[in-house]
Amino acid sequence: MVNLKRALLFFAVIFLAVNPFTSKAADEAHASTLMSKADSINAHIKHHLADDHFFTLYKNGDDYVGFPLPVILIDNGLKIFSSADFQHEAVVEDAGQYYKLYHGKIYKTDAAGTLNYDEHHHPTNAKPLDFSITKGVVGMMLATLLLFIGFGSLAKTYKKGANTLPKGIGRALEPLVLYVRDEMAIPNIGHRYKEFMPYLLSVFFFIFLLNLLGLTPLGFNVTGNISITLCLALFTFVVTNVKANKDYWKHIFWMPGVPVPFKIVLAPIEVLGMFTKPFSLMLRLFANITAGHSVVMGLIAIVYLFQQQLTVGGSIGVSMLLTLILFFLELLVAFLQAFIFTMLSSLFIGMAVEEHSHH
């Protein structure tokens, strides 16, 4: 019995040492601190994923370090000024018009910078036509420049002869070019594949390169912007329907080989399918890239929380390992999303230009 009491006393001391009692106020204060840190991290992730008029390189305390980008507005004329003006002053005045930057959007306002809100706290002020050079536009310009350099090198090699081996970056691009041709264009489009190769190569390498840039510390998230994926999907929609032959339209509006009542029923379904195809292209690319960036940033945030609040050292290595694994997974996703978008585009184009024989 004595040994049992000593054993119970020993385990009680160990339990108290490992799990000391804290006051309710201390627990609430600790929880409040964690919530404030979580809100700060959540805001940082949203800032990383959102487009911006200011190119951020890194964050120093509460300040974002980078350089301003030009603001180009059309509002009773052309107005051009630096986005740094929004940092120095809350309201920017240009030719008697006042503008305010709020959550990445530019609104027309008065000299005091007044914004009117609806019941959902969204500004109702009018917005000028915004053609500004934002961070996403810089990313697309950089990707376009790299593509011109890469394909320019590859084109110079091909001009020397079919048996000349590419050099430099062209040697890395050629297998991907052949992959797009042999695995996507030819199987899905057929003998007319050369007509659509420029578009398929452009969209594949453009998306792939933008996805890779999104994994760099520069923080590009171009393909995670739904307006960009919408434009890419619209390009596929336009190419598909402009190049479509009469058999394609006949299958949509008057399906051959089925009774007339079914033709009437199938026509609106097929017309709806014309729009659901590009919609799926848009949504798939946007959702996958945005989710990948959010998870990577979230795992990095876990490292920060463990170090700053929980003082857990061993979990930092685990979080860094998970982040590294997920980063390599995102490299695969960068290629996979470019592949899926190009593959589906070639499939839709092939369905539109396919020549049918009806018996």
Could you write out the DSSP letters of every residue in 6-37? HHHHHHHHHHHHHS----HHHHHHHHHHHHHH
Instruction: Give me the residue label for tokens 């320019």.
Output: 152
- Of 32-36, 50-54, 118-122, least confident by mean pLDDT is 32-36
Instruction: Give me the residue label for tokens 């084109």.
Output: 155
For residue 64, the model assigns a pLDDT of 66
Average pLDDT of span 9-25? 40
Q: How far apart are CA 198 and CA 63, in angstroms?
A: 43
How many C-beta neighbours within 10 Å does residue 161 have? 7
Closest CA to 355 of 271, 245, 273: 245
Could you tell me the CA-to-CA distances from 212 to 215, 282, 329 in Å, in that order? 5, 18, 12
More confident: 209 or 156 = 209
Q: Which helix (H) or strand (E) holds 248?
A: helix 246-253
For residue 231, the model assigns a pLDDT of 92
DSSP line for 51-105: --SEEEEEEETTEEEEEE-EEEEESSSEEEEETHHHHH-SSEEETTEEEEEETTE
4 confidence band (pLDDT: 50, 70, 90): very low
Q: Is there a contact between 204 and 211 (Cβ–Cβ < 8 Å)?
A: no
For residue 9, the model assigns a pLDDT of 43
Report the DSSP pairing between strands 70-74 and 78-82.
Answer: antiparallel
131 contact partners, CB below 8 Å, separation of at least 6: 72, 73, 74
For residue 23, the model assigns a pLDDT of 39
159 confidence band (pLDDT: 50, 70, 90): confident
Could you tell me the CA-to-CA distances from 211 to 71, 75, 85, 206 in Å, in that order? 25, 34, 31, 9
What tens digit of pLDDT does each residue of 182-212 get?
A: 999 999 998 889 999 999 999 999 999 998 8
Average pLDDT of span 251-262? 79
For residue 215, the model assigns a pLDDT of 80
Report the DSSP pairing between strands 63-68 and 54-60.
Answer: antiparallel
What tens digit of pLDDT does each residue of 327-349 get?
A: 787 788 888 889 999 999 999 99
Q: Which helix (H) or strand (E) holds 107?
A: strand 105-109
351 contact partners, CB below 8 Å, separation of at least 6: 240, 248
| Mean pLDDT, the chain, whole residue set | 77
Average pLDDT of span 157-171? 76
Can you tell me whether residue 120 is helix, strand or coil? coil
For residue 207, the model assigns a pLDDT of 92
3-state helix, strand, coil in the chain (%, to 5): 65, 10, 25
Using CB atoms within 10 A of its CB, is residue 350 exposed (0-12), middle (13-18) or buried (19+)? buried
Average pLDDT of span 284-308? 70
Residue type, 61: G
